Structure 1
């Protein structure tokens, strides 16, 4: 089974999801989305496959969210902001043959394995 995780090693939820994946005997493809920024098409695919709304994929706790005045922004503006400032992409996103989801809390990854 191929598993990909959009990972930030500084994030406890991301580290937790990675631990669950490895505990299942799977070594995932680890994508550092902060340096290997997902394209708009990839973001849209994750949204479609997960059933999430754009705002749910945005990390609103980041200071840049307020600095850019993104509260109430439309989907196009949010997607553009996530590409320009990938720290705004909520994590961890996990993609497996069983589905795609934002795994917060990290135990959500278990349904995808």
Structure 2
């Protein structure tokens, strides 16, 4: 069973997602995509597998998205993929691949839908939000 996370260690959501995977007793393949970006076919497969449009898989905040003119709705998927490959910071994160599917895990607890193993104990996000209770079950908020 292989679980892969396309990870940015500087991103809190990505760190929380990685920690949730490990909380299930799984040591994933960690791809730091900023230094080892996926190839075009892999990137396109991640986006399609997650059920997203290419534009929906792009990160805008803290990236050259606007300065590259990528906010123009006339720009097609091929050009958007080219931009993501040239500037990996444009790839939203974290993408996680498991035998149960692919997700862009924003928020991080979306990873729970595709993990092939249950959580082994309580889990609290870096910001203090409880996600998994002492019983190993998801905490429902609100």
Q: What band does the TM-score fall into relative to the shorter chain?
A: over 0.9
Residue 97 of structure 1 pairs with residue 92 of structure 2: no
- The answer for the alignment partner of 2:37 in structure 1 is 37
CA offsets 1:50-94 (integer angstroms, 9 cap, x no match):
111101110011330011010022211110000000000000000
Residue 24 of structure 1 pairs with residue 24 of structure 2: yes
- The answer for the alignment partner of 1:109 in structure 2 is 111
Displacement over 2 Å in runs of 4+:
none
- Equivalence map 1:49-68=2 (5 Å): 49-68=49-68
Two-structure CA RMSD over aligned residues (Å): 0.9
Question: How far has the Cα of 1:2 moved from its partner?
Answer: 0.9
In 1: Cα distance, 2:106 partner to 2:50 partner: 13
Q: Secondary structure at the match of 1:94?
A: strand
In 1: Cα distance, 2:97 partner to 2:63 partner: 27
Question: How far has the Cα of 1:104 moved from its partner?
Answer: 0.3
Q: Which structure has the highest helix share of the two? A: 1
- The answer for the alignment partner of 2:119 in structure 1 is none
Question: How far has the Cα of 1:49 moved from its partner?
Answer: 1.3
Residue 87 of structure 1 pairs with residue 93 of structure 2: no
Equivalenced residues, count: 113
Greater RCO (Cα-Cα under 8 Å, separation 6 or more): 1
Return the index of the structure with the highest Cα Rg. Answer: 2
Q: Secondary structure at the match of 1:66?
A: coil
- The answer for the alignment partner of 1:7 in structure 2 is 7
The gaps in structure 2 that reach 5 residues or longer are 116-142
Q: TM-score, normalised by structure 2?
A: 0.77
Does the CA contact (< 8 Å) of 2:33 and 2:88 recur in 1?
Answer: yes
In 2: Cα distance, 1:18 partner to 1:105 partner: 12
In 2: Cα distance, 1:74 partner to 1:84 partner: 16
